[in-house]
Amino acid sequence: MSTNDNHAHPHPVEPILPPMHAQDPVPPHGDHGDGHGHGDHHAEHGGGDHGHDGHGPTSFWSKYVFSVDHKIIAMQYLFTGMLMALIGGFTVYVFRMQQAFPDAHIPGFGVVSPDQYNMLVTSHGTIMIFWVAMPVLIAAFGNFLIPLMIGCDDMVFPRLNRLSYQIFLLSAIILVASFFVKGGAFGGAWTSYPPLSAKGAYNTTSLGSSMWVVAVALEFVAFLMGGINFVTTAMNSRAPGMKLFDIPIVVWFIVIASIMFMASVGPLFAGAVMLLFDQQLGTAFFDPVRGGDPVLWQHLFWFFGHPEVYVVLLPAMGIVAEIMTTFSRKKLFGYKTVLFTAVATGIIGFFVWAHHQFIAGIDPRMASLFTVTTLIISVPIAEMMFVYIATLYGGSITLTVPMLWALSFVAEFLIGGVTGIFLGAAGADIYFHDTYFVLAHFHYTFFPIAIIGTFAALTYWFPKMFGRLMNETWGKIHFWITIICFNGIFIPLFLTGAAGDHRRIYNYKLFPEQMHPELQDLRVMATVFLVIMLATQVIFLYNFFSSMTRGKKADANPWKANTLEWVAPSPPPHGNFAEMPNVYRGPYEYGTPGRADDYYPQNIPPGAG
């Protein structure tokens, strides 16, 4: 009943199993002998391990710093990501101010030099994608939710999990350290095209460039390790009775995202080594004069870079699905449809990468091919959005703060997706490439993913993580101001981009034919909305941190949702569940006829609730 394979299943599912206790020092089935896999080669028997009496770590260091508990590791990723977001936010404040008031003295920074401008835009892109979106959406929520939602007590490889965070932290430290070395941080854009990125003579940041490459490579290693944990745990450690189609969509999506990451990052990792060698060891991988090819880097980068956007999109969409079902009290309109579409999107996502290179000098026949695939991929994603909207139809909708964020995700992402169609057509892209139109497009996709998705998830799972509720009123104020400002930033940029404003130019006075002084008002408007939006985040930070200790206490299931994480106490203790749950139904059984409650948690035996 639980799996389709023919092998004898170690946990034959009966309606009520003898409870498995997290605190049992020896699992009741005897020594299974399943190891941690070859990756778990840190033979640490000291701090961080579960005590012999199963009560878990006790000292501050083993509980919070060197923890192997997935929930603590999730928090570590979350707070590191939030801290990096502050840095990423600061960089954008400075360079947007430079755009609005060229050559002015920016409060909190000073006058922006051309080199610094490049470093700021590079750092912003790099940090927001690799050190904010990925750690928060995938590592933090993946770590926190997956074991809870599939009904087990931790990840399959807790020590590998801890190691992945430590490597991630190291990568963050190296990146931030690059700001302070001789020459400063790398300024060749987050896409790091050679020869600019390869030759110190061109980029003037010889040390910073290599630190950037090393930091990114280490981040990849951390997420490869994390991904193995997520995928293996979700595949193998599900609660008895949880069939494949009973898995909550967010778990599926984080798993698919991890698989996509693991399948796409390899060539770029190879490319990063090649770039590092070109930078420091005088090799010629990307030097055309000596037999190399800069276009190869572009392909290596974007072969990963495009699947990467779906790697971050899918977890956000999963989060939105969980919230929309809970607050419309309705099952997901087409669970299997959404799932298979996500898989299809993932696969097609590997066939579109060169649409980032339409005017880089690639073969025009390939450009035609990639135009077709790019336009095709808009279909499944749009279809998933429509399924989400259909989920709302006939539902009993409550507009809580998480629901507001989830709904805004759909609305804003649709705008982003639609504008992508213009860019996906190679002919139109000849005009649009490198303009602010591209930038507005990807912010209308990335902002919903990284920012709206994060706020949705944080406000939704905050009670589970911290045992208290966030303040709804301040949450709504924060939501509305942020959303209005977000649109206020990027609609002007669509307009300036369509009028021809180019990206990554520190001061248009250097390119008189591009000055377009009539657009300056729009540039200023974007900046003003940005500053307001950044300032508004103080509301969220205050709400978030003060609610942790002073918010209204939450019980285990304040939203009356069905998935297993709401069975565990808020916050869950070490081991998550007093008794490991069994699963009897899918994750979105709302409004079941004949039940007093309008929800039907996955773990309640039939006829018992």
Partner 1 sequence: MKPIATTRTVIGMSTGKLAVWWVIASEIVIFGGVLASYIMHRIGHPEWADQAAYTNTWAGAFNTLVLLTSSLSAVLAHQAAERKEGKKAARYLYLTCVGAAMFLVVKSIEWSTEIHHGFTLQSGGFWSFYYLAAGIHGVHVIAGAILMIWIAQYAKKNEELQRVEYIGLYWHFVDLVWIFLFPLLYIAK
Partner 2 sequence: MSDHDHAHAEHPHTNYVGVWAVLVALLVVSVVGPMLGHPVITMITAFGIACVKAYLVVTKFMHVNLEPKLVTYFVATCLGFMLLFFAGVGPDVLKHEGTNWNNVAAKAATARGMAEHEAAKAAGEHH
C-beta separation of 226 from 161 below 8 A: yes
Interface with partner 1, residue 214, by CB under 8 A: no
User: What three-state secondary structure class fits 164?
Assistant: helix
Nearer to partner 1, 52 or 550 (CB): 52
The site for partner 2 (CB under 8 A) is made up of 5, 7-8, 10, 29-34, 259, 263-264, 267, 288-291, 293, 295-296, 299, 303, 350-351, 353-354, 361-366
Residue 265 touches which member of partner 1, partner 2, none, C-beta under 5-8 Å by kind: partner 1
C-beta separation of 192 from 268 below 8 A: no
Residue 286 touches which member of partner 1, partner 2, none, C-beta under 5-8 Å by kind: none
Alpha helix ranges (H) inside 425-519: 426-432, 436-446, 453-466, 472-498
Instruction: Work out which of 12, 15, 41, 364 binds partner 1, going by CB under 8 A.
Output: 41
Instruction: Work out which of 18, 108, 282, 512 binds partner 1, going by CB under 8 A.
Output: 282
Q: Which stretch binds partner 1 (CB under 8 A): 90-98, 146-154, 495-503, 553-561?
A: 146-154
Running DSSP on this structure, what letter comes out for residue 204?
S
Q: Which stretch binds partner 1 (CB under 8 A): 164-172, 285-293, 463-471, 565-573?
A: 285-293
For residue 415, give every residue at least 6 positions away whose Cβ sits within 8 Å of its Cβ, in sequence order, or none.
444
C-beta separation of 249 from 338 below 8 A: yes
Interface with partner 1, residue 12, by CB under 8 A: no
Rounded (10°) CA dihedral 399, 542, 321, 88: 130
Sign of CA dihedral 413, 415, 421, 426: negative
Minimum distance from residue 353 beta carbon to partner 2 (Å): 7
Minimum distance from residue 196 beta carbon to partner 2 (Å): 16
Residue 354 touches which member of partner 2, partner 1, none, C-beta under 5-8 Å by kind: partner 2
Interface with partner 1, residue 366, by CB under 8 A: no
Sequence letter at residue 239: A
Residue 45: burial class (beta carbons within 10 Å; 0-12, 13-18, 19+): exposed
Residue 238 touches which member of partner 2, partner 1, none, C-beta under 5-8 Å by kind: partner 1
Per CB under 8 A, contacts with partner 1 among 298-357 are 300, 303
Residue 11 touches which member of partner 1, partner 2, none, C-beta under 5-8 Å by kind: partner 1
Q: What CA–CA distance (Å, rounded) separates 117 from 419? A: 27
Minimum distance from residue 274 beta carbon to partner 1 (Å): 7
Instruction: Work out which of 290, 509, 552, 595 binds partner 1, going by CB under 8 A.
Output: 290
End-to-end, the C-alpha distance of the chain in Å comes to 22
Interface with partner 1, residue 162, by CB under 8 A: no
Residues 231-260: x where in contact with partner 1 by CB under 8 A, - otherwise, as a string: xxx-xxxx---x------------------
Q: Which stretch binds partner 1 (CB under 8 A): 152-160, 311-319, 455-463, 550-558?
A: 152-160
User: What three-state secondary structure class fits 18?
Assistant: coil
Per CB under 8 A, contacts with partner 1 among 552-591 are 575, 580
Nearer to partner 1, 227 or 416 (CB): 227
Interface with partner 1, residue 361, by CB under 8 A: no
Minimum distance from residue 33 beta carbon to partner 2 (Å): 5
Rounded (10°) CA dihedral 575, 579, 583, 586: -60
Q: Which stretch binds partner 1 (CB under 8 A): 24-32, 186-194, 322-330, 395-403?
A: 24-32
Nearer to partner 2, 107 or 291 (CB): 291
CA angle 573, 578, 580 (to 5 degrees): 115
User: What three-state secondary structure class fits 435?
Assistant: strand
CA distance to 95, 98, 108, 545, per residue, from 105 (Å): 12, 9, 9, 33
**Nearest alpha-carbon partner for 191 in 312, 297, 309:** 297
Residue 590, beta-bridge partner list: 599
Interface with partner 1, residue 412, by CB under 8 A: no
Q: What CA–CA distance (Å, rounded) separates 259 from 33? A: 26
Per CB under 8 A, contacts with partner 1 among 42-101 are 43, 49-52, 54
Q: What CA–CA distance (Å, rounded) separates 39 from 49? A: 17
Nearer to partner 1, 22 or 332 (CB): 22
Minimum distance from residue 13 beta carbon to partner 2 (Å): 16
Interface with partner 1, residue 266, by CB under 8 A: yes
Residue 20 touches which member of partner 1, partner 2, none, C-beta under 5-8 Å by kind: partner 1
Residue 368 touches which member of partner 2, partner 1, none, C-beta under 5-8 Å by kind: none
CA angle 104, 106, 109 (to 5 degrees): 135
Nearer to partner 2, 87 or 251 (CB): 251
Minimum distance from residue 264 beta carbon to partner 2 (Å): 8
C-beta separation of 356 from 489 below 8 A: no
